[in-house]
Amino acid sequence: MTPSEQLAINGGPQAAPAYEGADQPKIGLEEFVELADTWGFSAETQAAIRAAIEKEQVASPMLSRYYNPRPSKVKALEELCQETFDIPHVLGVNSGTSALSCAYVAAGIGPGCEVIVPSYTFFATVAEVVTARAIPVIADIDESLTMDPADVERKITARTKAIVPVHMIGTCADMDAIMAIARKHRLMVIEDAAQACGASYKGRRLGTIGDLGCFSISSYKITGGGEAGLVMTRDPFLYMRAQNNHDTAACWRPDRYATEREKGELFCGYNYRMSELEGAVALAQMRKMPAQIQRWQQARRRVAAGVRRFAGVTPQKMHDPNGAVGHLLGFFAPDPKTALALAEALRAEGIPTNSRGDSTARDWHVAAYWQHILERKSASPDGCPWTCERNAPFIPDYSPEMWPRVTDLLSRLFSVRISQWWTESDCDQVAAGINKVLGAYFRPMDG
């Protein structure tokens, strides 16, 4: 054997001591400039950004949360939420829908379970009950536009596992009543706070009152920039199960490949992990949230205080007017036609106002249009979960007429969109404008 044939492992020369082709970072300058383009920076600014960052050699970032050598933005977001929401366990996920899936599965919802949801919510609240292979039971709403506790109680059966109050359009559900019903019947409460991030009920942030809280922090919500969600709980076992559902690859576990530490820890889940890109944006958004909510609440309070009472106009019922997000001020007109006319008259005054009136446009927020539920749609050819032995005998006979109040209330609702940026004098002119329009239609009740 010549010296060059000697194996390197035995002290001979290496066959491949160096490579001419140097590794390039996987994610670098180009990806960063693409992000700047997403933000909408001009070509000139993008060129300046490129020039500035070209000078600095940075290691390729990892944009996923687990096993990241750099401090995780998703983890920082979760820690900020723990503090802001005063709750020990927060899990970042990739959408509000995934948050609901995690919460339902964590709570043990599955075949043979019924889950009570309101007739007014984004369809995801209901859809994830079905993907958990359980049966949604739909309670109607009241003048707060959130679930009516009396209807919830009427709909409880021996199979009911959980109640899902949804804090729609930034207002809170009647949490005292719902928690009392849940305690009486030993049910879980899973709050859907997707539309009310940062709002509170009697001093406690929404999403932290029930057993689990779910949030969407997508670009359509008051806090959030893309597609993301959060699950919150005080219960370490529920947190652990939510984690397993969000990352079936088990990267969340202290020892990923360890055997099950506790019964219920390991099961087949999904990949609902939040990316570091989303985490970074959501972190910045969440830092802004408390001040933003405060501005909205102040503006809403000032406008509401300046609006007179009129016979024939009913303000939206508020379970905690000071705790609501405050971006909407809702009223019910006596009929849909008047609601539309009032909204139009208010807009003509320069006051941003919406009403759907008696429009029959399909809307995934209203039970009457949930075709997937009404027609018991299934992703699988065997019709699961509707046909499942444990569910089939108990499926409600869904029909749009089952929820008369949601249709009536939404048709008569007109709501003023409050800006968090309005000054006191802006608020006063809006209140005066509302009084002007309502005064032209109705008699003031305060003389």
Ligand X SMILES: Cc1ncc(COP(=O)(O)O)c(C=O)c1O
Q: Which residues bind ligand X (CB under 6 A)?
A: 95-97, 121-122, 124-125, 166, 192, 194-195, 216, 218, 220, 229
> For residues 46 and 121, which CB has a smaller minimum distance to ligand X in the complex?
121
Length, in residues, of the chain: 447
Nearer to ligand X, 100 or 342 (CB): 100
Give the span between the Cα atoms of 71 and 309, in whole angstroms.
Answer: 54
- CA 325 vs CA 172, 183, 232, 366, 420: distances in Å: 9, 27, 19, 21, 10
Instruction: Give the whole-angstrom CA distance, residue 113 versus residue 110.
Output: 6
Nearest distance in Å: CB 193, ligand X: 8
Q: Which is nearer to ligand X, 166 or 206 (CB)?
A: 166
Contact, 366 vs 411, CB < 8 A? Answer: no
Work out how close the CB of 96 gets to ligand X at its nearest, in angstroms, rounded to a whole number.
2
Per-residue burial over 420-435, b if 16 or more Cβ lie within 10 Å, else e, is bebeeeebebbbebbe
Closest CB 127 distance from ligand X, rounded Å: 9
Minimum distance from residue 147 beta carbon to ligand X (Å)? 12
CB of 344 to ligand X, least distance (A): 26
Closest CA to 244 of 107, 106, 73, 109: 106
Q: Distance between CA 231 and CA 210 in Å, rounded?
A: 12
Q: Considering the complex, what minimum distance in angstroms separates the CB of residue 122 from ligand X?
A: 3
Specify the 3-state DSSP secondary structure of 314: strand
Which of helix, strand or coil describes residue 201?
strand
- Residue 166 or 416: the one with the smaller Cβ distance to ligand X is 166
d(CA 116, CA 119): 10
Task: Output 166 or 406, the one with its CB closest to ligand X.
Answer: 166
Minimum Å gap between C-beta 13 and ligand X is 58
Give the residue at shortest CB distance from ligand X. 96
Q: Give the three-state DSSP class for 55.
A: coil
Nearer of residues 81 and 307 to ligand X, judged by Cβ:
81
Kindly tell me which of 274 and 430 has the beta carbon lying closer to ligand X: 274
